Structure 1
Amino acid sequence: MASPMNFQESVDYIYSFVDFERTGQITYNTRALDLKAFSELLVLLSNPHEEFAVVHVAGTKGKGSTCAMLASVLRASGLRVGLFTSPHLLDVRERIQVNGKWIAKDSFARALSVIKPVHAHLGLTSRSYRTTFELLTAAALLHFAEEHVEVAVLETGLGGRLDATNVVHPALSVITRIGYDHTGILGGTLSAIAAEKAGIIKENIPVVVADQKPEALTVIKRVAAEKNCPVVEAAREFRATPSGTAPTQTVSFKGNGLKLEGIRLPLLGAHQIQNASCVVAAAKLLSSKFPSIDAASIGRGLAEVRLMGRVELLRADPFIVVDCAHNLESAESLVETLQELCVSGKKIAIIGISTNKDARAILAIMTRYFDKFLVTRADTKRAMSPVLLADQLRGLGAQIEAFDSASDAANAGLSMIGPEDLLCVTGSVYLAGQLRPFLVESAGRFG
């Protein structure tokens, strides 16, 4: 028997396989993303995903925030909760959490040490299209079973139909807002993208749906009807009434026998109220299985949620914001949310975008708000050249400075702002993750 791996060895092991997140070159077919082969792996691991209830979440926009809020609500209800999300911002371990705590390094290594020989036994090598994401999914499911979670919230990685997480038979499915992202893979229309996301819908299992454009909703409802699944349209079922002014956001929900008054929502933006509506609807459905979920625990869980990199306000004088907006819908939400802050001074973006994104369209949205762009790149192969980004922004008439180093861009941005100004890192999960620790430390220099 091979000796157990340590943490670094386990990290090296998972990244020795095909990692679509890092390369951006996704082979989207049933050979590359073979759920049957992945299910065989889980069988040999004693089907850990059958040891707990699952809430399965797909969507283009808001699925990470929705997962974080729902996990917080379930924890506030006294349940032992697993949370699996992607990608990570700072550390691969943040993808796998139990009751809000990242998986420990030794637990991460132990899970992969169990998986590795089973993986080898099946003949699944890095040359046979196995993926890093599958290994992480398996590690999460093993860890959740080992930790005796009662319910796990699982976020899909890409699409839904062929996603590794789609081996589960959930207690509930949730589909957040659908928009245009990964169009070269999932399809160029909302209907095509919705069909991939709706692939998580299972026979007779209820599905909670965020507010959708008609063409996406039509597809979701058709798939649900074919599988005899009740559909709960969250925004219709629970009326949300926002109050307060940014950066403090308060909301009340009413519907289906549930009334929540004056809930302080730490996650900023009107889009987060839509996500919270999905969480309230999901929690209400889950309360039939878990009676400890009630109005008080839902409100407490929403108020206690914390999530890095989603219009995350590090300080307010000056405003320093870290955000991961990397598609059209998230760029729109970022701009709308920042406008609510009513910044009276300069508005500066530190921006880097991946090569597989519609950079020009994203930048066109951003130029509606920001006065100046500090163009740079994250330390990843997928990052677009700052020169190319700068050319795109010049074509939009923007004021720019280009930096080869993200840290140089951050230092320059911090030197440019005063108490009435705003500095925002955006455009890429990788850039946000790279600069967030530095900005957290540097925010204190303003006193």
Structure 2
Amino acid sequence: MSITTYQAALDYIYSFIDPTRQGSPDPAIAQRGLDRITALLRDAGNPHQQLRAVVVAGTKGKGSTCAMIEAMARAAGLKVGLWTSPHLSSYRERIQIDREPISQQTLVELVNAVLPVVEGFDGATYGRPSTFDIGFVMAMRHFVAEQVDLAVVEVGLGGRYDAAATITPLVAVISSISYDHMAILGPTLDKIAFNKAGIIRSGQPAISVPQQADAAEVIAAEAQMVGAPLWLAAEPAVEPWVGTTTRLAYPAPPQPGKLHGTFQRENARLAMGAALLLRGQGIAIDDAAIRRGLAEAWWPGRFEVIDGRPRILIDGAHNGDSAVKLWQAIEQELPHRRFILVLGTSRDKDIAAIAAALAPHADHIIITRSSHPKAMDLDRIAAEVEPFASAPMTIVPVVAEAIATARTLAGPADLICVTGSLFVAGAAREALGLAVAD
């Protein structure tokens, strides 16, 4: 079997999607998934063990933090691989080197390279590989083949049982933890934090933003148990946790130049701290590179403002805490007359928490959905939003048409906000001509 076209390569990767396979909070079931990717990587030659890598976990801010770490390392003259998920418009976004998505031809070649590994895999013992497993193996092999100086790896889900847990990172990075994927990671913050903290490794530094007390205690306990120095990326006034070493001396204020939203300052402080710790691990990122990388870092679909009259804001906020921070940032940074909310989300999200944070402020709400199979039904979104809304509500099934409807409703001084899901954010970027789906 040989793959000859990009579309055939995508079809092959996506053929491993199993709609019947569900995540589980049962550690034994979760461990089976980790065993599967570990075995698949072994059969592929353990490329992940040949890389110097930083791993980033957390509920929100992971992608932005990865983008800032990557930009700082690249500004230092390093060749940097970046693995993230999900993608907004193109699968190629998941595998990047120096912020260039992998080419279609190279992806075809990678699929052909891993195809015999996948076809010969012991599925009877470990289960059939997932689409995510195959992508992760391809990314690791690509980074090795291209001899990257550093791989920046975003955790897909959780941390302890994610594919990224196969890596022993130079630095383990944990962004803000809140409630998401509770059916898989657990219903309480300490259980969610337990999953996130699973990326911490013995003797390797870890760094976290300030967390809620339950999560902070779990992270500190994990670091102490495995014997990892734990740092806190916090404002000087914040008291350190028990077990943390503080404080890093930052070479510049943690203010990203292109990533807007007050919450990005927390991510910037985390990314800068990670860069400083990487320096201690032999990755040469000097102060000038930290400043330059922070100024240039960019991550689409996160508080992305499209100037115009009216302005349009695209943000992938997909849980209650993210939505609260989104509204806080809007109040502080985007003065407007009326607020037009375009909202769509996925079936596994807490739409009520998102609606509680945003719907009361809206002058008109447009319910929509992405084309992703996990998109929540329109009627269910509307039913969840209705108790929090005092404004008119319209259902427009297609994101592009929802934005067009919002534009007809909005005046020049109004703000249109498209949010609720990264898939909706991706569809919005395509509708506005900012990306092309392939």
Q: Quick one: structure 1 residues 195 and 131, their matched pair in 2 at CA, closer, same or farther if it must change by over 3 Å?
A: same
Q: Secondary structure at the match of 1:423?
A: strand
Match of 2:411 among 404, 418, 436: 418
Residue 213 (structure 1) aligns with: 212
C-alpha distance in 1 between matches for 2:389 and 2:360: 11
Matches within 5 A, 1:357-376: 357-376=349-368
Matches within 5 A, 1:56-135: 56-124=55-123, 128-135=127-134
Matches within 5 A, 1:203-242: 203-236=202-235
- Shift of residue 34, structure 1, vs aligned partner: 2.7
Q: Is the 8 A contact 1:266 1:306 kept in 2?
A: yes
TM-superposition CA deviations, 1:299-345 (whole Å, max 9, x none): 10011011110010111542211111111121111111111134232
- Tell me how many residue pairs correspond in the alignment: 425
Ranges in structure 2 where 5+ consecutive residues have no aligned partner: 239-245
Runs of 4+ more than 4 Å apart:
27-33, 236-239, 261-264
Residue 186 (structure 2) aligns with: 187
Residue 408 (structure 1) aligns with: 401
C-alpha distance in 1 between matches for 2:131 and 2:18: 5
Q: Secondary structure at the match of 1:88?
A: coil
Residue 9 (structure 1) aligns with: 8
Match of 2:422 among 405, 429, 439: 429
Q: Is the 8 A contact 2:36 2:129 kept in 1?
A: no
Q: Is the 8 A contact 2:118 2:129 kept in 1?
A: no
User: What residue identity is the alignment partner of 2:350?
Assistant: D
TM-superposition CA deviations, 1:32-59 (whole Å, max 9, x none): 6532332222222222112221101111
Match of 1:377 among 355, 360, 369: 369
1:312 aligns with 2:269: no
Moved more, 5-14 or 73-82: 5-14
Q: Is the 8 A contact 1:5 1:109 kept in 2?
A: yes
- Shift of residue 346, structure 1, vs aligned partner: 1.5
Residue 36 (structure 2) aligns with: 37
Q: Secondary structure at the match of 2:234?
A: helix
User: What residue identity is the alignment partner of 1:110?
Assistant: E
- Shift of residue 97, structure 1, vs aligned partner: 0.5
Scaled by the length of structure 1, the TM-score of the pair is: 0.89
Residue 23 (structure 2) aligns with: 26
User: What residue identity is the alignment partner of 1:285?
Assistant: L
Q: Is the 8 A contact 1:283 1:298 kept in 2?
A: yes
C-alpha distance in 1 between matches for 2:85 and 2:280: 29
Q: Quick one: structure 1 residues 279 and 408, their matched pair in 2 at CA, closer, same or farther if it must change by over 3 Å?
A: same
C-alpha distance in 1 between matches for 2:61 and 2:255: 19
- Shift of residue 232, structure 1, vs aligned partner: 0.3
Residue 53 (structure 1) aligns with: 52
Q: Secondary structure at the match of 2:307?
A: strand
Q: Quick one: structure 1 residues 440 and 345, their matched pair in 2 at CA, closer, same or farther if it must change by over 3 Å?
A: farther
Q: Is the 8 A contact 2:360 2:390 kept in 1?
A: no
Moved more, 303-312 or 256-265: 256-265
Scaled by the length of structure 2, the TM-score of the pair is: 0.91
* Identity %, equivalent residues: 37
Q: Is the 8 A contact 1:83 1:154 kept in 2?
A: yes
Residue 160 (structure 1) aligns with: 159
TM-superposition CA deviations, 1:50-109 (whole Å, max 9, x none): 222110111111111100111011100111000001100010110110001001111112
Q: Is the 8 A contact 2:256 2:268 kept in 1?
A: no
C-alpha distance in 2 between matches for 1:397 and 1:288: 51
TM-superposition CA deviations, 1:95-143 (whole Å, max 9, x none): 1100010011111121121111111112338x93421111111111011
Q: Secondary structure at the match of 2:172?
A: strand
1:350 aligns with 2:342: yes
1:303 aligns with 2:295: yes
TM-superposition CA deviations, 1:259-300 (whole Å, max 9, x none): 315855211122110111111111111112346311111010
RMSD after superposition? 2.4
- Shift of residue 431, structure 1, vs aligned partner: 1.2
Match of 1:326 among 314, 318, 330: 318
TM-superposition CA deviations, 1:151-191 (whole Å, max 9, x none): 10101111011101111111110011110001111111111
Ranges in structure 1 where 5+ consecutive residues have no aligned partner: 240-253, 443-447
Moved more, 367-376 or 176-185: 367-376
C-alpha distance in 1 between matches for 2:334 and 2:163: 42
